[in-house]
A and B are shown apart, each in its own frame.
Chain A
Amino acid sequence: MKKWGLAAVLILMIGTAVFLLSKPADTKIDKLVLTGSSTIAPLAAEIGKRFESLHSNVRVDVQTGGSSRGVSDAKAGLADIGMASRALKDDEKDLHSFTIALDGISMILNRANAVAALDKQQITAIYTGKITNWKDVGGNDAPITVVNKAEGRSTLELFLHYFGLKNTDVKPHVIIGDNQQGIKTVAGNPDAIGYVSVGAAEYEASQGAAIKLLPLDGIVASVATVRDRSFPLSRPLNLLTRNGPTGLAKAFIEFATSPQVHDLIEAEYFVPVQH
């Protein structure tokens, strides 16, 4: 019994060594490394798979870590291409950025809520706790449940920036992580208000989720208004390079900004950009 165990361990170790050394050396494989925003990562991985199927001997490796990581890795040259789910800040303008898709952020209410629209002041007042009942903004006599995003989400950053708020000003009742959780929370509570990605909300509403999208500054929240850039609360999903892209990185960026990947972008509930 003991001998068998030893033999098994030996075989495993030899197998590992063989596997380690068996990397095919005859075929030259070009590797493209992307790091950054976890929002873009699933989309970039899908685009990468399609890119690989068109170019043999190319591998696209996508790694996550957040938009800031995408920016710093692109700057330091640790990644061929960085990913950031926001526009570049002023001190990052030395990088080249390429927008592959847009993502809008929409205020959502439960479908049963009588309120049809809220202006900027009303939303600010609701999120800072100055208005706590729906009857103050033309709805039923019911307390408002404020749903906010968790710290560190770029959706939160964008929301706060647009409404000129600090996160410490916000008086939330529920704190959520991702879009799906936000949609489920508002769909299950007739008095809740929240904000999520437009594409995901529109898709879920069309699938029968009990939510409705509120217009912002009088502009309907939809994929269409995000696409024509009239919707005010949206962000670009960017690919970043240190210098002007060359070679494989250039080919990949051209592919990722071409109509050949629009179906992949829509499958992730983002909005393709017309170039």
Chain B
Amino acid sequence: MSKNALATGLICLVAVLVTSVFFWLLTDLVIHGLPRLSGPFFVEASQNAGRSGGIGPIIVSTALILLVAIVTSAPLGLATAVLLSEFTRPGSLFGRLVRRSLDVLAGVPSIVFGLFGNAFFCIYLGLGFSILSGGLTLACMVLPLLIRTAEQGLQVAPNDYRLAAAALGMSRSAALTHLLLPAAMPALVAALLLAIGRAGAETAALVFTSGYVDRMPDSLLDSGRALSVHIYDLSMNVAGGDANASAAALVLIGLLLIINTIAMSLAKQWRIATP
């Protein structure tokens, strides 16, 4: 009995420790950043190297970079996941090869993706420092994560579905769109979420691709500073930028939380709509 109580106590303690780290971090950000948060902060351009003014253009740039990354990586990622889970034999050489290279790619540090993106998209393809280069670099970076999570989601769908569909004479593509994809929808949304979270928090890969310019972008070929790059610059490079760095960090956390909540509720509704 006392052993049980001890174990329960220890587990509770660990849980409290983990959550308290998060709340400590959040409290610190709120104390330093909240006084700077206001309506104009979200729309104004930054002034005096970011010490004053807002983060309007930076939010727009961040959203565009994320959009490019997701629009390009989601179809590719989903298609590859379907290929791996539905159209390759388990244990085949091709499947093993693809999975192994994806796992290696997932372990590559983000600064390496940044240097690759700079060399390939910015210089070789001539896109220059641009939102497009940054978004495409992030797309490369999140692809392994996206594919592996989506693939696991598809594999969780019971094999009975596939057998029943075949017995009823459904084509494989019909089984996929009507049965397997809806069943895997929560996992697919989770994969997308993880990808957005990873991309939104990225700094190193973006410094050399989407760049440092904090002007409002006119097109995807303009350089645009991402929120994480802005936070890094303010806290590490600009004397007196700490308060606005905390405020910008709060905004980033808020944005990611909102995306998270929306996607989760979407996943829930999809699941209810398709029995």
Contact = CB atoms under 8 A, between A and B. Distances in A.
Interface string B197-233: 0000000000110011111001111010000000001
A61 B237 contact: no
A45 B237 contact: no
A42 B219 contact: no
A1 B273 contact: yes
The size class of the interface chain B forms with chain A is: 35 or more
A136 B53 CA distance: 49
Nearest to A79: B129
Contact of A23 (B128, B211, B218, B233): B218
Interface string B246-259: 00000000000000
Contact of B220 (A20, A24, A179): A20
Given A61-B213, A178-B239, A2 B219 contact: no
A43 B49 contact: yes
Nearest to A38: B237
Nearest to B229: A64
Contacts of A112: none
Contacts of B48: 46, 267
B269 A1 contact: yes
Given A24-B218, A64-B212, A42 B237 contact: yes
A180 B221 CA distance: 35
A42 B233 contact: yes
Contact of A61 (B67, B223, B238, B269): B223
B242 interface: yes
A42 to B, nearest CB: 4
A42 B170 CA distance: 61
Contact of B219 (A23, A64, A200): A23
A16 B71 contact: yes
The listed residue with most B CB atoms (<10 A of its CB), out of A22, A24, A61, A268, is A61
A59 B214 CA distance: 12
Contacts of A45: 49, 212-214
A268 B49 contact: yes
A188 interface: no
Ordered nearest first, which 5 A-B pairs have the shortest CB separation? A42-B49, A23-B219, A20-B220, A1-B273, A61-B213
Given A33-B128, A41-B237, A61-B213, 8 more contacts: A1-B269, A12-B71, A19-B219, A38-B237, A42-B237, A43-B49, A200-B239, A267-B49
16 contacts: A1-B269, A1-B273, A2-B274, A5-B266, A5-B270, A12-B71, A16-B68, A16-B71, A23-B219, A24-B218, A39-B237, A41-B212, A61-B223, A65-B208, A178-B239, A179-B239
